[in-house]
Amino acid sequence: MKIDIITLGCSKNLVDSERLMRQLESVGYEVTHDAEMLTGEIAVVNTCGFIADAQEESINMILELAQRKTEGDLKRLYVMGCLSERFMDELGKEIPEVDRYYGKFDWTRLLSDLGHEYDESISNERHITTPSHYAYLKISEGCNRKCAYCAIPIITGAHRSRPMEEILDEVRHLVSQGVKEFQVIAQELTFYGLDLYKERRIAQLVQAMADIPGVEWIRLHYAYPTDFPMELLDVIRNNKNVCKYLDIALQHISDNVLDAMHRHIGKEETYNLIDNIRKQVPGIHLRTTLMVGFPGETDEDFKELCDFVSWARFERMGAFAYSEEQGTPSARLYDDNIPEEVKQERLSRLMRLQQKISAEIQENKVGKEMRIVIDRKEGDWYVGRTEYDSPEVDPEILIPASVDGLAPGMFYNVRVTKADDFDLYGEVI
């Protein structure tokens, strides 16, 4: 019997889907992971519930599949993940065609509903859906930060670190399967270990990963600026296989806005942190996420944010406009008083500023030599990435497909020959 798994939202959801796929395959199901090619008798939707746009995408997918079930093209439909965790009762009433809803963490019951038991002996194994040379590595669940705007703690609960040896065993297993590059992910990366070991152990974990033979690249995602463990910078600087890359969401710079957001860090501390990171790890590429239009954000607050972006010159930056999320502190405490057109105008201005910075940073790479990994061949190009580029979200480097002998998953040294706003072009040396 065929089962289609559809994953929406973040890479943390993807890891859950990959674990489920391995469990289903172990008991004889044929499992696919392609939302564009649904051919199975059973469909499982792993939903996102983070912000309104993501919720809408998840609901539309459930409705589409519910219609297919009504028309007889689908025998069973199951829903899991963050949206289901957050709005299970409401979804059950509104879309009763779904055979069963599961939350974020109880998806293992799906196996029981299909007549099978969850196999603990392969709990650390996954069906990798990414290109075979890289994988996402989830080191924890949940978050203790409780930022005013964020629904994640409501959905996932408190931070729960995975035991270090369990993570390292997973890394070793994935290496044996051909994985060379690891995207380390968590809702709050730098909190790792506090619950299990009564101290932050992200530096020790990354160092232990770096020491495993076959691990070519480690890239770190979703750090939090407050109480940042500075010893992690030593690990990034001193290990060639730890990418000079850090994803650290800052959200804003104005003291007024940061205080209202419950971020527990101020403007001066943030400037000092970015300065220290760049001094400790020369050449590091920083990715951040910023928010505009938070309740009470003034023109002066927004100007501070633009000034900060001009100063920090983030190599990678995303931004979004505030949207009120049900059940969050900001929904209870503040009026969503910034008009939508003002939010969008600020967002556009901020991204235009960042586009100019990004273009300058990319142009400065022309003529430089870099190590890259090839992800795929696409038309007339091999498409690869440097250590400064995370899959799916960051720029890529294009190598002419006329070059002989290149292969996905292999590493090469290249010279950058050209740059545009988003991508680099190079030649193998």
Per-residue pLDDT of 95-152, as tens digits, reads: 999 999 999 888 889 999 999 999 999 988 999 999 999 999 999 999 999 999 999 9
> Pairing relation of β-strands 2-7 and 76-81?
unpaired
Distance CA 245, CA 9 (A): 22
The CATH classification of domain 369-428, taken from the options 2.40.50.140, 2.60.120.10, 3.90.1150.10, 3.30.930.10 = 2.40.50.140
Residue type, 130: T
Q: CATH 2.40.50.140 in the chain, residues?
A: 369-428
Q: Write the burial class of residue 296 (CB in 10 Å: 0-12 exposed, 13-18 middle, 19+ buried).
A: middle
Span 37-91, pLDDT tens digits? 888 899 999 999 888 888 999 999 999 999 999 999 999 999 999 999 999 999 9
Q: Write the burial class of residue 173 (CB in 10 Å: 0-12 exposed, 13-18 middle, 19+ buried).
A: middle
How much is the pTM? 0.94
Quote the percentage of the chain above a pLDDT of 90.
92
Q: CATH 3.80.30.20 in the chain, residues?
A: 134-363
- Two structure tokens written together for 167: 């993570």
Q: Tell me what the mean pLDDT of segment 143-170 comes to.
A: 94
382 Cβ partners below 8 Å, 6+ apart? 374, 376, 398, 399, 400, 401, 403, 406
Q: Tell me what the mean pLDDT of segment 393-422 comes to.
A: 94
Are the C-beta atoms of 252 and 290 separated by less than 8 Å? yes
Backbone angles phi, psi at 205, to 5 degrees: -65, -50
Are the C-beta atoms of 83 and 104 separated by less than 8 Å? no
Q: Tell me what the mean pLDDT of segment 207-229 comes to.
A: 97
Question: For residue 39, what pLDDT is reported?
Answer: 86
Quote the percentage of the chain above a pLDDT of 70.
100
Sheet holding 30-32, edge to edge: 30-32, 2-7, 42-47, 76-81, 100-101
> pLDDT-derived band of residue 259, with 50, 70 and 90 as boundaries?
very high
Question: For residue 134, what pLDDT is reported?
Answer: 98
Whether 390 has a pLDDT exceeding 80, the answer reads yes
Class of domain 2-122: alpha beta
321 Cβ partners below 8 Å, 6+ apart? 291, 292, 293, 340, 343, 344, 346, 347
Q: Which CATH architecture has domain 134-363?
A: Alpha-Beta Horseshoe (3.80)
Q: Helix, strand, coil shares of the chain as percentages rounded to 5?
A: 40, 25, 40
Q: CATH 3.40.50.12160 in the chain, residues?
A: 2-122
- Two structure tokens written together for 41: 């008798």
